[in-house]
Amino acid sequence: MLEKNWMESRYTIGSLVARSAAMQRLVKQAGQHIHSDNPLLIVGETGTGKGVLARAVHNSSLRSNRPFLSVAASRLTPDALDAVLFGATAREQGVMTRSEGGSLVIAGIEQLVPMAQERLLQILEKAEYTTSAGERKSLDARLMLTGHSGELATQLSRGVFSESLYSKISTSVLSMPTLAERNADIPYLVADVLQSFSARERVPRPSVPYHYMELLTRVEWPENVRQLRNHVESVMSLSNGQFDPAILLAHFEEIESPQTLKSLAHDLLQRLVNSPQTATASATN
């Protein structure tokens, strides 16, 4: 059985879904940062795919055959900081050493505590660090940092996030568009989910009902691509690889959207029950 993130682990800059103008601009910008060793800051709202972009940059670079590690900033608490970064014991390597030659992602940097911010700034300024065994090493991993754009801006304005650190990590910045800004990508994102699902479950890729695809492009997705992917994955799992109208209807009743969209969902899905057409060209990658 393939892992759920099997498809994501194989993304490159060129294979990202980018039919919309917003994503085409982002892909072009990302291409300019592939072969740099400078820190890369990727910002965006919740669920926009910041981690996927980081993985795509790594997979497209000369570091692609080296480790790709990711650590949540929330794990870098004062108590765990040294153990995570430099190793808990002399025999246990931290993420700095384990990612040598490859890429290290620190996700959710707006959650970095002041001590972690200071430590990270020191590492970047000196381009070296000391392991728990006392060995001094040069920083040999490409650092990529992801953060929620709004929360990071708030932290900066309140003086909670170090301006010195931000200045150091923001020389190269990529900003992920929201799903609303890349609405034209939705049919192809759905196709990508279905391709991953069919490969993982070893079943034929299902066709998408026309009215269902129409609805997906019109409903609001406050948690962006992540919410869309999770929705389609859940529907597929619950309906055994098919688009069961009753399951679709139940799922859309739970989505927090304006009442007008709930009415639209009910109307479109009712038409789906009465006329279960399938979308073909609109759901191909």
In this structure, is residue 264 part of a structural domain?
yes
* pLDDT > 70 fraction of the chain, expressed in percent and rounded: 84
Same-domain check for residues 131 and 203: no
pLDDT digits (tens, 9 = 90+) for 238-284: 877 777 777 777 776 655 554 445 566 666 666 666 655 554 434 44
**Phi, then psi, of 146 in degrees rounded to 5:** -115, 150
Q: How many domains does the chain have?
A: 2
Task: Give the amino acid at 109.
Answer: I
In this structure, is residue 196 part of a structural domain?
yes
Same-domain check for residues 56 and 166: yes
CATH number for the domain that contains residue 258: 1.10.8.60
Same-domain check for residues 234 and 262: yes
pLDDT at position 2 is 32
Range of the domain at 244: 180-283
Among 98-112, 129-143, 210-224, 265-279, the least confident range: 265-279
Average pLDDT, integer, range 126-133: 93
Picking from 156, 175, 194, the residue at the C-terminal end of a domain is 175
Question: Coil, strand or helix: which one is 127?
Answer: coil
Beta strand ranges found along the chain (DSSP E): 40-44, 68-72, 103-107, 128-130, 136-138, 142-148, 173-175, 208-209, 278-279
In this structure, is residue 3 part of a structural domain?
no
Picking from 137, 158, 175, the residue at the C-terminal end of a domain is 175
Question: Coil, strand or helix: which one is 259?
Answer: helix
Q: What is the DSSP string of 189-219?
A: HHHHHHHHHHHHHT-PPPPEEHHHHHHHTTS
Picking from 141, 175, 209, the residue at the C-terminal end of a domain is 175
In this structure, is residue 249 part of a structural domain?
yes
**Phi, then psi, of 65 in degrees rounded to 5:** -95, 10
pLDDT digits (tens, 9 = 90+) for 61-114: 999 999 999 999 999 999 999 999 999 887 889 999 999 999 999 999 999 999
In this structure, is residue 1 part of a structural domain?
no
pLDDT at position 182 is 97
Same-domain check for residues 105 and 196: no
